Structure 1
């Protein structure tokens, strides 16, 4: 299983270096950068201190959608106020969800937004699950490097555990295919303009376990066959 960390448009090289150092400390190795060249500045490597290999192997992308092209399950960080109808998990609640997904998916991604404005609504819509760190203080957010450390620490069990040999990887695009089938069905039933319901359906799909996903595919197949006949 791969678990890349994705930083969207980070502005400060120091923050990228701090993120790389946090990743290295907790056993994460793959860093992707979207719409930024700040990692090329010397400060990134200086702050990374011992995580130069992560800086050297950064993958660059123009858009978040491109960075997620090979990802089977996406977790995006945001503030609760922006979660809308999306399922929202704390870092502690996120671990069991991702452990289950890791048993049948090959690539899970953790996405962090801009230092000043986070992720756009369009970028958040690309995620399967949203997450945020509950805070007592009035200050609205963590430093980017601190946020990466919190999640890498919380999820380090994922990268430390040996892959399960007893469970064979299945089609890792089941969730994406299910989203498309559900969208098509809502359109066919002429209820796609009920945005609240459509959002709820699409966003709850990310919580489905492997068996539930397979069973819902079977149900949709039967519904589609009945409607076509």
Structure 2
């Protein structure tokens, strides 16, 4: 009798443990070198064409032709996508990306800049998850002149909970002109990070409670046998 009850309790606890471990945890989800403190684009992906023709780099500061200097939001380095001097400044080439486990949210600091505004099509900064655009900012929102304009360092937090359940996601950052003409536009990036998906508290409480009952049941059975 005791052996049968103990077997049932063991099975229940086993199922609970399987649920806890199978529940999608994005504690494994992470962005490597999201603060760019390696001083380069280590861990960020770029294909050959992007590397040859695109404008993406890690720098410790940048000074524009009008003397304005931009420093990292934190630490010693930041990423810069786009250019104010290159003859080619195509957004799809000014791109960095990284693949990670699905997660609930993405956060980052950005400083979008532009000058010599063009009416159409406006240059922009965009964030994509897989092939979906999840954030964008156009030069038309800040720049209506030939002077340098920027957002300043701005914090963004994006809800990515719709992607929970997928094995992995690819997060891309792009900035520049849609067609690649010399439209001086770009973005500085810093402190890119993702957040873990916690197991709901109710599941933890239920699981730990059942494990506690198993321990009490084992103790009771042990006393009864003696």
The structure that has the greater radius of gyration is: 2
TM-score > 0.5, shorter chain as reference: no
Give the structure with the higher percent strand: 2
Query: Normalization by structure 1: what TM-score?
Result: 0.24
- TM-score, normalised to structure 2's length? 0.25
